[in-house]
Amino acid sequence: MLILKAKRNARRFAAMLFIIIFALIWIVFIVRAAKVRQLGWNLSMSDYLSVMKYSTPGDMLDRDGKTLLKAEDGKWTWSSRADKQAYSTLIGPDVRLSAFSRYTMLGASVPELLGVNERAVYNPLNLFKPTAVKGSDVLLTVDGGLQNRAVELLEDFPKSSIFMYNYMSGEVYTSVSKPFFDPVTLDGLVMDENDRYMSFSEPDGAGINKNIAYLRPPGSTMKTVTAAIALDYDSSLKDFSCECTGTATVNGIKIKCHSTHDTVENMAEALDKSCNIYFATLASKIPDDVYFPALKDYGFNDVITYGRYNVADGIFGTPDREGSISDTDKLLGSFGQATCRTTPLQMAVIYGHIASSGSSVLPYFFTADGKEHKPEPVHSVFNACTYKTCETLGKMLEDSVDDGSGSKAFIKGMHVMGKSGTAQWGDSRKDTAWFIAAIQNDSYPVVVAVCLDETSSSGTSAAPIARKMLQGAIDLIDAENAAENE
Ligand SMILES: [Zn+2]
């Protein structure tokens, strides 16, 4: 009897223990799921890998519904050889090689493609018998025709990039970045030191999307930001005048200009002639406690969240514990040199913000089947540039295209504003030529950022490329409007 009772007790104890352990596991799963929901959709790499085993993934298509990546046997296969190149740095390699990085569109859209939801990942029953999950197709906002046009325009520039987006709808029309790589053979892709994952810290930016993942000095395109901060601080600074004899000492710091501009009458002339001495002197007139916080409002030295994808955060100087930046960094950074670094996407957002007089939205790259995307207003993230400042600056930068140094970006009948830049890296690398242009007409709200790396070309030589891209966007908008009205 006693032995039987002891056996029964042991069995009862074992059953209780089993239930308690199972309940504990379940509680851990539920707490984790709640935490994931609270943090958004940011599951870990191993979570995705576990879902991939029992998911029927969606395909990836371009703006016209053309299939770029087809899902087969738990991985994605490129459907066309030509697309592989043009989209390589945008879409990225196999998600396992990019470690599901949100700097690649394949990595950023994995939750949609796999149909991942935390219920599937955190349901303990899936440990025994996984529930099948079905993913959605992902539609890139990028237009195949414009993507190819960018590839052609960059033919002579092995290291370069073009980023273009509709600043009122947020749709990215073009994102091309060179050097390309082959996402199948991986030729041209630089791996990290362990040879396991692709490298995002390659000094030449090989194989990565430079528009979002590569920090370049902005050169003179930064003068627009300095001008905006100055105008927000004191609008009468638009009439500030300055002498340029080619070199100057401002606050004890030696500033060199690329030319001798003599008397620069006002801010409009300074932007058009792109006078370094003017902007260093202008920056010296803005108190540090105005200038440095304002830079944050344009996304410099701040952590900005863009939504589903990641963008490298802009850098300006090396702030100390109090947020102060040295005078050298401040004055050289005011015209985009020294330690100032940015991405084409960040600059396109700033210029689009000015062109829209503060009513633009952040760019997005894709939508998942049937879901409408509501892009975030730029002013909610880039808390800078008043309506009046936007209007004043937009006009100055438009005059420069109509009848000044930016005239190669001129499009008849359009209000195009633009700014060139030639950025020095401060090391042995050759210059990067920039041109950023935006159309200010309501019907064609498009901004483009062209970067030509390691070139002897000046920023103005990137202007015709910007113009051809904007012209392509105008044609695309016209064609889509005509198709809608049919
Ligand atoms: Zn000058």
User: Where is average pLDDT lowest: 122-131, 311-320, 432-441?
Assistant: 122-131
Q: How far is the CA of 52 from the centre of ligand 1 (A)?
A: 58
Q: Tell me: do 177 and 109 sit in the same domain.
A: no
Number of domains making up the chain = 3
Residue range 310-343, pLDDT digits in tens: 999 999 998 888 878 999 999 999 999 999 999 9
Q: How far is the CA of 417 from the centre of ligand 1 (A)?
A: 21
Q: How far is the CA of 325 from the centre of ligand 1 (A)?
A: 24
Q: Tell me: do 12 and 151 sit in the same domain.
A: no
pLDDT (0 to 100) of residue 342: 97
In this prediction, residues 87-93 reach a mean pLDDT of: 96
Q: How far is the CA of 168 from the centre of ligand 1 (A)?
A: 35
Q: How far is the CA of 474 from the centre of ligand 1 (A)?
A: 35
* pLDDT above 90: residue 129: no
Q: Where is the domain boundary, 120, 140, 160?
A: 140
Q: Where is the domain boundary, 86, 111, 140?
A: 140
pLDDT (0 to 100) of residue 42: 61
Q: Tell me: do 151 and 107 sit in the same domain.
A: no
Q: Tell me: do 298 and 322 sit in the same domain.
A: yes
pLDDT (0 to 100) of residue 196: 92
pLDDT (0 to 100) of residue 25: 82
Please state, rounded to an integer, the average pLDDT across all residues of the chain.
91
Q: How far is the CA of 332 from the centre of ligand 1 (A)?
A: 13
Measured CA to CA, the distance from residue 176 to residue 389 in angstroms comes to 31
Q: How far is the CA of 205 from the centre of ligand 1 (A)?
A: 32
Residue range 368-384, pLDDT digits in tens: 977 788 899 999 888 88
* Backbone phi and psi for residue 139, each to the nearest 5 degrees, phi listed first: -105, 120
Q: Tell me: do 69 and 29 sit in the same domain.
A: no
* Backbone phi and psi for residue 90, each to the nearest 5 degrees, phi listed first: -80, -50
Measured CA to CA, the distance from residue 46 to residue 149 in angstroms comes to 38
Q: How far is the CA of 275 from the centre of ligand 1 (A)?
A: 4
Q: How far is the CA of 345 from the centre of ligand 1 (A)?
A: 28
In this prediction, residues 382-388 reach a mean pLDDT of: 91
pLDDT (0 to 100) of residue 118: 60
Q: How far is the CA of 236 from the centre of ligand 1 (A)?
A: 21
Q: How far is the CA of 266 from the centre of ligand 1 (A)?
A: 12
Q: Tell me: do 22 and 116 sit in the same domain.
A: no
DSSP 342: B
Q: How far is the CA of 256 from the centre of ligand 1 (A)?
A: 8
Q: How far is the CA of 242 from the centre of ligand 1 (A)?
A: 9
Q: Tell me: do 254 and 281 sit in the same domain.
A: yes
Residue range 24-77, pLDDT digits in tens: 888 877 776 666 555 455 677 887 887 788 788 999 999 999 999 999 887 899
CATH code of residue 60: 3.90.1310
Q: How far is the CA of 277 from the centre of ligand 1 (A)?
A: 5
Q: Tell me: do 124 and 9 sit in the same domain.
A: no
pLDDT (0 to 100) of residue 166: 98
Cβ-Cβ contacts under 8 Å for 395 (sequence gap 6 or more): none
- In the chain, pLDDT over 70 holds for what percent of residues? 93
Q: How far is the CA of 258 from the centre of ligand 1 (A)?
A: 6
Nearest to 36 by CA among 52, 25, 47, 24: 47
**Beta-carbon count within 10 A of 2 CB:** 6
- In the chain, pLDDT over 90 holds for what percent of residues? 72
Q: Tell me: do 408 and 310 sit in the same domain.
A: yes
pLDDT (0 to 100) of residue 126: 63
Q: How far is the CA of 339 from the centre of ligand 1 (A)?
A: 21
DSSP conformation letters of 368-379:
ETTPPP-PPBGG
Q: Tell me: do 385 and 342 sit in the same domain.
A: yes
User: Where is average pLDDT lowest: 88-102, 157-171, 191-205, 348-362?
Assistant: 191-205
Q: Tell me: do 323 and 228 sit in the same domain.
A: yes
Per the structure, the complete domain to which residue 26 belongs is given by 1-35
Q: Where is the domain boundary, 90, 119, 140?
A: 140
pLDDT (0 to 100) of residue 203: 82
**Beta-carbon count within 10 A of 299 CB:** 27
Measured CA to CA, the distance from residue 78 to residue 70 in angstroms comes to 6
Reported as a pLDDT band with limits 50, 70 and 90, residue 247 is very high
Cis peptide before 57 (omega within 30 of 0): no
Reduced to 3 states (helix: H, G, I; strand: E, B; else coil), residue 71 is strand
* pLDDT above 80: residue 459: no
Q: Tell me: do 225 and 176 sit in the same domain.
A: yes
* Backbone phi and psi for residue 14, each to the nearest 5 degrees, phi listed first: -65, -45
Q: Is residue 145 within 8 Å of residue 170, measured between CB atoms?
A: no
